[in-house]
Every structure is written in structure tokens, then in C-alpha cells.
Amino acid sequence: MSGAAALAAAPAGRAAAPARARRLTPWGLAAPLGLAYAAFFVAPLLMLVAVSFYADERMTRWGLDQWRRFLLDGFHWKVVADTLLLGLKSVVATTLLGFPFALLYRGASPRWQRVLLFVAVMPLLTSVVVRTFAWIVILGREGVVNQLVLGLGLAAEPLRLLQTELGLVISLTQIEMPLLLLPLLSVMARIDPRLLDASASLGASPWRTLFRVILPLAAPGLAAGCLLVFASSTTAFISQSVIGGGRLVYLPAMIWQQAMVVANWPFAATAAIALLVSVSAVIAVIAYAGRVAAGHAHG
């Protein structure tokens, strides 16, 4: 707001104005987004916090009942732990598959880099709902994988892949992969190839170069990618409910159930804050690990 005022006042005080305008313009330019965030994100978030402190589902009196109900029940802690673990498993799986791809990308010619980048981004061109339903067709009892396994005689009975955590992690790995690759590829492309030559000429093995040179330099991009994959897969409501099914209970589905089916907004708000806090805590750890690893490269 002050930025906007400064912009409006600029023509009046001609001498001092340019310097002041220069100082305030970035704030002024950020103001529309900032105000939009304040109105449509921060304010609803505060309302969410307030709603969680209603004692009853009709929201008539204040109290800590919903928080007690959430925190004093082992089942809810298990759901929180399962949700975070699902995110970590997706992060590990996407990293194991995505990092070699990024190494390939780093060494490729500019023309091949464009092709690989397109391959990495391609899944984003279809909606997450379509990708999720495609995985039902692939992992189902009569799906592609099972037809192959039965056809090759590798198993007598169809494998159970759908509605298992393994199936969910497999599908999330594909669904979230672009989120890991985009930041990772951009830092990989910026690694100076002379550093690798230097490492080799000083006698380091390729593995040593990977762990002591490439990995620390790629750490900020890898951390950013892991962070996005973690946040996205812990909150992947559609994939979790469609691929995971009713026996795998995660926080997003629980929040939806409480808010929409049971119409218990205070409890849904409590669970939503629990999701926000627990996911943010893990994200903070991942970001810190990324900074420490990057510090090794420069320190």
C-alpha cells in the first residue's frame, strides 16, 4: 500500500521522488500478490485455526475438545505417521529414479537436453486425475502388469498392486516425478564441466566425483525437488483415495470426510492444521539438509 502511495506521490516531489520510488517500487510491485495472499490465504488460514478451537460440531462454544480428541488418540498419530512416511517413500523413489536421469541430462548435448527436458515435463501435460486413473488400468487385477506377469508364468494368481502402499508409491513416483526433475535439471545444467575434469585430473574416481562434487553442487536443486515431491505426495488426495483405496487412511481423505461427509468442521480444521504443521516440519528438515549439503560444496 505504501508503495502504491509512493508511486502516486512521485510526480509531486520531483527531486526526492526518484530515489524514494526506486526504493519502494519493488514493494509496490509485490503489493497486489501480497494483498491477494493476505486476503485469500493468510486470512482463511487464521479462520481455519479459529474454527479448530470450537468445541462442538455446530460451532456454538469454544474449547479444546477437538484438539484433545485428535491428539489423545493413537489412531490419529498413526494416520499422521503414515501420511509423512508415504511422502518420504515417494521422495526416495523419485530421487533414486530421477537423479540418474539428471546425470544423463547433465552430460548430454544441448539438443539431447531439449529432448530429455521434454520427456521430463511430458507427464505434466495430462491432468493428475487422468494419470491417476491410468494407473488403475495399469495396476489393476486385469491390468497391463498382471496380464504380463500371468502371461509369462511368473505368478499363478494376479498380483495385488492396486490398493496397496506399494502400488500407491509406484504411481506417485511417476505422477510427482516432474516436480523433482524440473529444479534438479536446472541446477545440473549449471554445473561447470571443468570442475569434473579437475576432480578427475586430481585422481578422484567417478564415484568420488559424484559424491564430493556433483551431489553437493546439485543439492539445492535436489532439496527443492524433494520438497515439492514431499509436499505434493502427502497431500495427493486423488491418488491416495483412488489408488490407495479405503484401507490406507491418510490425512487428506480424513479431512475431507470430516468436513464434507460428517460436517464436523472443527475436527476437520484440527486435522488440517495437523497436516500443515507436520508437513511443514519435514519440509524444514529437507530444506535444512539441502543448505548443509550446499554449504559443503562452497565451504
Partner 1 sequence: MSLAFPRRALLAGAAALAAPLVMPRPLRAQKGGSLVATTYPGIWDDSFREIVAPAALKTKGVEVEFQALFAVDQIAKFAASRGAPPFDAFVLDPGPRITAIERGMFEPFDGKKLTTLPKLPPQLVDQWGAGCAAQVVGIAYNPKKVPKPGGWDDLLKEPWVSRLGLTGFGTTFGTVSLIELAKVFGGSETNVEPALAELKKVLPKIAAVGTPAAMPGLFQQGQCDVMYTNTQTVMALKDRGVDIEFATPRTGAVAFFTTLHIAKGSENVEAAYKYIDTVLSAPVQEALTRPPANLVPVNKDVPLSPNLPMKSLDEMSGFVTHDWAKINPLRGGWIERFNREMAK
Distance separating alpha carbons of residues 252 and 267, to the nearest angstrom:
13
Using the contact rule CB under 8 A, the part of the chain among 30-38, 112-120, 208-216, 255-263 near partner 1 is 255-263
Tell me which of 75, 77, 118, 211 binds partner 1, using CB under 8 A: 75
State which of positions 128-167 bind partner 1 (CB under 8 A): 133, 136-137, 140-143, 162-163, 165
The size of the chain, in residues, is 299
78 binds partner 1 (CB under 8 A): yes
Tell me which of 7, 48, 191, 259 binds partner 1, using CB under 8 A: 259
Task: State which residue, 137 or 277, has the beta carbon closest to partner 1.
Answer: 137
Q: Are 273 and 265 in contact (CB under 8 A)?
A: no
Q: What is the DSSP letter of 40?
A: I
Task: State which residue, 28 or 140, has the beta carbon closest to partner 1.
Answer: 140
Distance separating alpha carbons of residues 213 and 195, to the nearest angstrom:
8
Counting residues that bind partner 1 (by CB under 8 A) gives: 30
245 binds partner 1 (CB under 8 A): yes
Tell me which of 263, 284, 285, 292 binds partner 1, using CB under 8 A: 263
Task: State which residue, 221 or 266, has the beta carbon closest to partner 1.
Answer: 266
Instruction: Report phi then psi at 202, rounded to 5.
Output: -85, 5
Q: What is the DSSP letter of 124?
A: G
Tell me which of 113, 235, 257, 278 binds partner 1, using CB under 8 A: 257
Q: Are 134 and 162 in contact (CB under 8 A)?
A: no
242 binds partner 1 (CB under 8 A): yes
Q: Which element (helix H / strand E) includes 100?
A: helix 74-107
CB of 246 to partner 1, least distance (A): 4
28 binds partner 1 (CB under 8 A): no
41 binds partner 1 (CB under 8 A): no
Which amino acid, residue 230? F
Rg (CA), the chain: 25
16 binds partner 1 (CB under 8 A): no
261 binds partner 1 (CB under 8 A): yes
- The C-alpha cell at 119 is 520427456
Place of cell 521522488: 17
Task: State which residue, 84 or 188, has the beta carbon closest to partner 1.
Answer: 84
Q: Are 175 and 123 in contact (CB under 8 A)?
A: yes
> How many Å from the N-terminal Cα to the C-terminal Cα in the chain?
41
| Residue 293: closest CA among 216, 195, 187, 180 | 216
61 binds partner 1 (CB under 8 A): no
3 binds partner 1 (CB under 8 A): no
Please give the residue ranges that form the binding site for partner 1 (CB under 8 A).
57, 75, 78, 133, 136-137, 140-143, 162-163, 165, 241-242, 245-249, 253-254, 257-264
